[in-house]
Structure 1
Amino acid sequence: MAKHRKQSTGTTRRMATTAAVAATASVAVPTTAQATEVVIPNTGFSINVDGIENIPGIKNVPNIGAYVPSLAGQVAPQSIAEYASNIVAPPAPPAPSKGELVLAAARSAMGAPYVWGAAGPSAFDCSGLTSWAYAQAGISIPRTSYAQAAQGQRVSMADIQPGDIVVYYGGASHVGIYAGNGMIIDALNAGAPVGQRSVNYMPIHSIVRY
């Protein structure tokens, strides 16, 4: 229970707020901790709070000595800016992989019309889409589907990753970009805009990675 030393009629609201904060703080520490004096500066009001000195980080609160006299003179930041500078920021999220960048570019082209010989940015044929998407990720690959199949690093279906190029038909005449979850994004033909379909929609020739 808090022990009141002195109270003025002008500090009722401050007393209630401080008492609530102190009560909350005391719950977070062992009940066997030694009571510590907590004061409201310039009011003459103080209470004893069990174990407040043991609250993690309390010594780093700016000007803590003005409120908890027993902590006065201990090393601590002297301003809010200094206090905030000691807060460790969460780690930055990892940068997207090249495959993720390629796939993001391909997704951005969905709905664009198929035009034979077109390589973007507003219309595509199949290898035009793959070469354009890779270029957006800073990777230069051959322009035609046959050359893309011949020069990329072959990977198995078991090792396929988003962004890999899936090559179709015996002559490597069609290509698409693997989108994950058994789907590809491709520019199929004049009757369909750039879109998403099953990776097994056509007979697979090979899978390549750049």
Structure 2
Amino acid sequence: MIMASSAKDSVITEPVSKHTSQFIGAKRVLSALDQKRVNLVLLAQQYLGTPYDFGAAYGQTKTFDCSSFTKWIFAHNGVTLPRVSRDQAQEGTFISKANLETGDLVFFSTPDSKGKIGHVGMYVGDGMMIHTYGAGGVKFSTIETGWWKDHYITARRVLK
């Protein structure tokens, strides 16, 4: 069971069995696709602050580069992606920036990619993505201003 904590400003999880005397019933409020989107974000944010390391080996979680990070979180949610961002940009279907949804992959150029795709993040809503690049490692960043706005290339939807 996921619920707001009455003691502090946070969300907590507890087993339903802890509340059997009060439990009346349950109803699914999220579609299966929405549940997958939530699970992607919850898993991704567990790695906030994990250091960035260009070329980080896939399969370990002490460091990530952008595409090993997206490959890791999507693999743990049943979606197989290629290893590098330019190849990930060939998966799924094109999505316009105006129609982005949580879980879509967003692609950018970098200083070294000469205007071509060199970076990937996962869109989380409200103009934000979770990704890893440079100082601070895995983090949330806006795609609406600054570097990422100016170097946005495309987006792909890989969730079905």
TM-score (norm 2): 0.69
Q: Which residue of 2 aligns with 1:110?
A: 48
Q: List runs of 5+ in structure 1 lacking aligned partners.
A: 1-86
Q: Which residue of 2 aligns with 1:195?
A: 139
The answer as to whether partners of 1:187 and 1:193 remain within 8 angstroms in 2 is yes
Tell me the amino acid that sits aligned with residue 125 of structure 2.
Answer: G
1:93 is displaced (CA, Å) by 4.0
Report SS of the residue matched to 1:151: coil
The answer as to whether partners of 2:50 and 2:136 remain within 8 angstroms in 1 is no
The answer as to whether partners of 1:99 and 1:164 remain within 8 angstroms in 2 is no
Larger gyration radius, structure 1 or structure 2:
1
Which of these residues, 142, 153, 157, is aligned with residue 205 of structure 1?
153
Mapped partners of 1:90, 1:197: distance in 2: 35
Alignment pair present for 1:142 and 2:90: no
Where relative contact order (Cα < 8 A, 6+ residues apart) is larger, the structure is: 2
Q: Which residue of 1 aligns with 2:8?
A: none
Q: Residues 57-76 of structure 1: matches in 2 within 5 Å?
A: none
Root-mean-square deviation (CA, aligned residues, Å) is 2.0
Identity of aligned residues (%): 31
Bigger mean CA deviation after superposition, 114-123 or 102-111 = 114-123
Mapped partners of 1:175, 1:208: distance in 2: 10
Mapped partners of 2:80, 2:67: distance in 1: 13
Mapped partners of 2:42, 2:96: distance in 1: 22
Q: List runs of 5+ in structure 2 lacking aligned partners.
A: 1-22, 110-114
Which of these residues, 68, 79, 98, is aligned with residue 128 of structure 1?
68
Tell me the amino acid that sits aligned with residue 101 of structure 2.
Answer: Q
Equivalenced residue count is 123
Mapped partners of 2:61, 2:48: distance in 1: 11
1:103 is displaced (CA, Å) by 1.9
Q: Which residue of 2 aligns with 1:38?
A: none
